[in-house]
Structures are given as structure tokens and as C-alpha cells.
């Protein structure tokens, strides 16, 4: 009986832990894809944009049109925290940048940008994410080039629906951690037994593929030796047949 109670307590703890996260599906909107993750524990929103690498990408939060003071996440040649002045005028870059770039990886002609931001900032131009919300309206735009001052080529709006992550998401590659980071060259990839890893690829900041490892990593902690690389920042793509994730690493 004690063992049953212990198991129930353990399952409850796991469910409570994952109930602190909710996210939208990776949603296709025009020529780009968007995903938003909300983490209640650290009050952080994670925004993922995937789209053409030769065009600027932008998403505006909590609106269905280009209304004044709409908070925007834009990437052209760099990450920009922006807002709309209203009408059909171009977005203005906020002097206070509250977005943090997590990764920027280009593979072929596709760019994947991941950035984080606190739910709430002291900036009146920033939208406040509400973890209790079940959905969020967004507008999006894609430019003709990476020059963010150029007018958009395509645009539109979409409603994204949040789903609370549960124990079925325990196998998500997003749950992988890499440490130490920074490292002198040996990085430990830590995962749970439910996560399968079949391929690891390492890119430099120019999206050049430097190393590819095709293997099945079954241990909870797996060491990857990148000591042959020079000091600096890199991106490591971890994937299996169903999913992939990109992490930023630093060699010191």
C-alpha cells in the first residue's frame, strides 16, 4: 500500500511540474511557422519563428490588425523588439529591447529563430502574456528581403490555441539540457529514458554544418566531444524521426 501511495505522489508531482507549461502547436501561417510556449514557473514566453532565410519575419501579439502599439517580434538580419505606430505604417524598433535570442539557425533556405521574453516587462510597448489565457491572436508579415524597412510581401492574422503540457510531453526534445555550457569542449546531453536521439548536428553562427553524429543515444547522460572546434558560439541541433530542437552552446 505504501508503494502505491508513493507512486501516486510521484505521478502527481510530475503532472504539477508539467502543468506549469503550455504551448501552441507549430502553426503554419502563410510562408512561415510560429509556436509560442508559456512557462508559468519562470514567467517566460518562448517564441519560435520558422521561415525563408532571405526574408524578414515578424509577428505581432494580441491583435488581428495593425493597431497602434502592437508589440512585435521581428527578425531580418538581427532580432528586433518592435511596435506598430498604427495604420499601415512600418514597425518601429523599441529603444528598450526585452527579447533574448536563444538560437538562430539557417539550414538550406529556412531560418529557425527562437527568442524568449518575460511575461511582463516595465515597457509600456510590450504585450503582457497571460498564462491563464487559452488562446492568443497574432498578426504576421513576411518581407521581400531581410531589409526590415521594406514593405511586407504577405501578411495576415491567426488565432493560436494553447495546450497545457502533460506527462505525454515527457518525451519532448525540448526537455533536453546541455551542460556545462559554456564548456571547454565536452558537453553532456541530459535526457530522460523516454527521449530518443538519433542525430546531432553542430553549426557555426553562419549556419555552416561543422559536425554530424548519427547515433542512438540511450543513456540519461551522453557526452559529446567538440574540443576540436575553436572557441566561440555554436548551435547544436538534436533530432529524432519525429522532432528536433536547437540549443545554443559556447566553447570557452
Please, what is the end-to-end C-alpha distance for the chain in angstroms? 52
What does the pLDDT profile of the chain (252 residues) look like in tens digits? 444 444 334 434 444 444 588 889 889 999 999 999 898 888 999 999 999 999 999 999 999 998 899 999 999 999 999 999 988 788 999 999 999 988 888 877 889 888 999 999 989 899 999 999 999 999 999 999 999 999 999 999 999 999 887 644 445 677 788 888 888 888 888 876 667 788 899 999 888 899 998 877 766 777 888 999 999 999 998 888 777 888 889 998
Q: What's the predicted TM-score (pTM) here?
A: 0.65
Q: Are residues 245 and 204 in the same domain?
A: yes
Q: Are residues 151 and 173 in the same domain?
A: no
Q: Are residues 39 and 147 in the same domain?
A: yes
Residue 9 lies in a domain: no
Question: What pLDDT was estimated at residue 11?
Answer: 39
- Look at the chain and report how many structural domains it folds into: 2
Question: What pLDDT was estimated at residue 12?
Answer: 41
Phi, psi of 167 (to 5 degrees): -65, -20
Among 118, 139, 164, the domain boundary falls at 164
The whole domain housing 177 covers 167-251
CATH of the domain at 149: 2.60.40.1210
Give the Å distances, CA to CA, from 236 to 21, 41, 77, 156.
24, 25, 20, 32
Question: What pLDDT was estimated at residue 250?
Answer: 92
Residue 91: exposure state from Cβ atoms within 10 A (0-12, 13-18, ≥19): buried
Among 164, 194, 218, the domain boundary falls at 164
Residue 227 lies in a domain: yes
CATH of the domain at 245: 2.60.40.3080
Question: What pLDDT was estimated at residue 8?
Answer: 39
Which residue is associated with the grid cell 553562427? 205
Among 164, 199, 229, the domain boundary falls at 164
Question: What pLDDT was estimated at residue 166?
Answer: 60
Question: What pLDDT was estimated at residue 19?
Answer: 52
DSSP 8-class letter at 183: B
Residue 125 lies in a domain: yes
Q: Are residues 159 and 230 in the same domain?
A: no
Q: Are residues 221 and 143 in the same domain?
A: no
Q: Are residues 61 and 110 in the same domain?
A: yes
Q: Are 221 and 179 in contact (CB under 8 A)?
A: no
Amino acid at each position: 500500500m505504501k508503494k502505491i501511495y508513493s507512486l501516486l505522489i510521484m505521478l502527481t508531482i510530475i503532472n504539477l511540474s508539467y502543468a506549469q507549461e503550455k504551448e501552441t502547436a507549430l502553426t503554419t501561417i502563410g510562408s512561415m511557422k510560429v509556436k509560442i510556449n508559456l512557462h508559468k514557473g519562470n514567467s517566460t514566453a518562448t517564441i519560435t519563428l520558422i521561415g525563408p532565410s532571405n526574408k524578414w519575419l515578424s509577428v505581432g501579439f494580441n491583435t488581428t490588425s495593425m493597431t497602434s502599439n502592437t508589440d512585435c517580434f521581428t527578425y531580418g538580419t538581427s532580432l528586433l523588439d518592435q511596435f506598430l505606430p498604427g495604420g499601415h505604417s512600418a514597425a518601429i524598433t523599441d529603444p528598450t529591447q526585452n527579447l533574448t535570442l536563444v538560437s538562430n539557425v539557417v539550414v538550406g533556405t529556412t531560418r529557425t529563430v527562437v527568442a524568449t521574453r518575460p511575461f511582463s516587462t516595465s515597457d509600456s510597448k510590450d504585450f503582457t502574456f497571460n498564462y491563464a489565457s487559452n488562446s492568443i491572436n497574432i498578426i504576421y508579415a513576411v518581407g521581400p528581403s531581410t531589409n526590415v524597412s521594406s514593405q511586407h510581401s504577405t501578411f495576415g492574422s491567426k488565432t493560436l490555441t494553447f495546450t497545457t503540457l502533460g506527462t505525454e510531453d515527457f518525451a519532448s526534445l525540448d526537455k533536453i539540457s546541455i551542460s556545462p555550457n559554456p564548456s571547454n569542449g565536452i558537453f553532456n546531453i541530459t535526457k530522460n529514458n523516454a527521449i530518443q536521439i538519433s542525430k546531432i548536428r553542430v553549426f557555426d553562427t553562419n549556419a555552416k554544418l561543422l559536425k554530424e553524429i548519427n547515433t542512438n543515444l540511450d543513456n540519461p547522460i551522453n557526452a559529446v566531444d567538440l574540443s576540436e572546434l575553436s572557441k566561440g558560439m555554436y548551435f547544436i541541433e538534436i533530432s529524432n524521426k519525429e522532432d528536433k530542437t536547437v540549443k545554443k552552446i559556447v566553447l570557452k
